[in-house]
Structure 1
Amino acid sequence: MSTSENLLDNYKRAYDNRIGFGARPALIMIDFVQAYFEPECELYAGVEDTLKSALRIRDKARECGVPIILTNVVYQAGGCDGGRFFQKARPLRNFIAGNPMGAWPEGLDVAENEIVISKQYPSAFFGTSLASTLATLGVDTLVHTGVTTSGCVRATCVDCCSHGFIPIIAREAVGDRHASPHEANLFDMDAKYGDVVDEEEILDYFEKTKISG
């Protein structure tokens, strides 16, 4: 382990590469549910600005005809379908079916043509139809927004890459409960799995796909 070399210089020797945008994007909004916006909940993350950025990206996606997928986490009573994840992460009890902490927060609505995927594990791909849905839609690029950066966003990014789709992570539209895991995971995703991109660049990308499509 290098302790004297500058971090960016160290990683540039191995990971200084960009994938770039593909031709057919979709947008995923990962786990934007009330638990992360409710100060009395142990999952509260103070990610109000994250949601605002994601909604701006969502609005542009709607305008440009980009497919939109939302995820939430839903468990049966007692968490019997949550496996080791439910055993380890106690706050997941907030996502037992019917708990108001699992509802969409104020300001987030779901249109009839938008896809909702309910999952039990961190990745939006694991145990769901997401990969086959994207393939059917002809999508090659998945723009990631959501919470949390170090958890479900990262897990989805890694599986996105593993399934052969281009992961694009919207810098301002992903969030976490603390800056340290947030920044560390943005850094690692950008180095190894996908491209971390500013909101404005994503808005421009959606506009260009609308013009060319």
Structure 2
Amino acid sequence: MAEALDSNYARAGYHARQSWGRRPALLLIDFAMAYFDENAPLFGGENCQAALDHAVRLAPAARAAGVPVIFTEVKYQPGGADGGAFYAKVPALSCFDAGKDTQKLATGLAVEEGDILVTKQYPSAFFGTSLAATLKWLNIDTLLLAGVTTSGCVRATCIDSISYGFVTLVVEDAVGDRAEEPHAANLFDMSAKYADLLSTEAAIEYMQQTQKNHDKEE
């Protein structure tokens, strides 16, 4: 008889909790209008909207706690000459052509003074970008992930984040997908192997606590 999933994963030691660091950054992944425009082919529905609603709370909380806020955007030359095989595989990526409204940041979020914007062409926020070097320069040891979609760019970024040596945390109510099944499956897998899951409330509390610790050290 096949072994139950929970006991199989427990035997392997999956879902072990990490020691969270003292210098986190908040990474807001691809909150573009393409996922919130009902007429766009990438429209994500209620799950993505819920993620955005929580991200709108996370960003100012991070700034207030002195935690770096980093946005990612997908942007292509019109026609996707810089999009390679990814752009050819997914025609809907034309939503991210420069100049289109669907490429712009979703309503409710804004890149403010002091924030960082990373432009990418592929799923991971690390691939082909300066993100890893920027985080190392800022002495970041822990990366909080929020964004869309859970099964796509969030997951790809999560795997690269831990691969680069960052303690990786996924804010599970601040990531979203167009269907519950890939959303839940990918959260489960990221929790098992690559990241800890936490709520928006817990993420805010963690960021506030790191600020208190820094204040005590000064």
* TM-score after normalising by structure 2: 0.94
Structure 1 segment 58-137 matched on structure 2, within 5 A: 58-137=59-138
Q: How does 1:1-213 map to 2 (within 5 A)?
A: 4-14=2-12, 15-46=14-45, 47-213=48-214
**Pairwise CA RMSD:** 1.0
How many positions carry a matched residue from both structures?
A: 211
Per mean C-alpha deviation after superposition, the further-off stretch among 79-88 and 51-60 is 51-60
Matches of 2:186 and 2:197 in 1, distance apart? 10
* Divergent runs of 4+, >6 A: none
139-148 vs 107-116, which moves further: 107-116
- For residue 191 of structure 2, what is the amino acid of its counterpart? D
Secondary structure in structure 2 of the residue aligned to 1:85:
helix
Distance apart, 1:56 and its partner CA: 1.1
2:71 and 2:116 in contact (8 A); partners too = yes
Displacement of 1:18: 1.2
Unaligned runs of 5+ in 1: none
Say whether the 8 Å CA contact 2:15–2:193 is kept in structure 1. Answer: no
What is the TM-score normalised by the length of structure 1? 0.96
Q: Tell me the distance in 2 between the aligned counterparts of 1:8 and 1:33.
A: 36
Q: Which moved more, 1:190-199 or 1:180-189?
A: 190-199
Deviation at 1:87, TM superposition (A): 0.7
SS at match of 2:22: coil
Measure, in 1, the Cα distance between the counterparts of 2:39 and 2:4: 40
Letter of the structure 2 residue corresponding to residue 166 of structure 1: V
Give the Å deviation of 1:6. 2.6
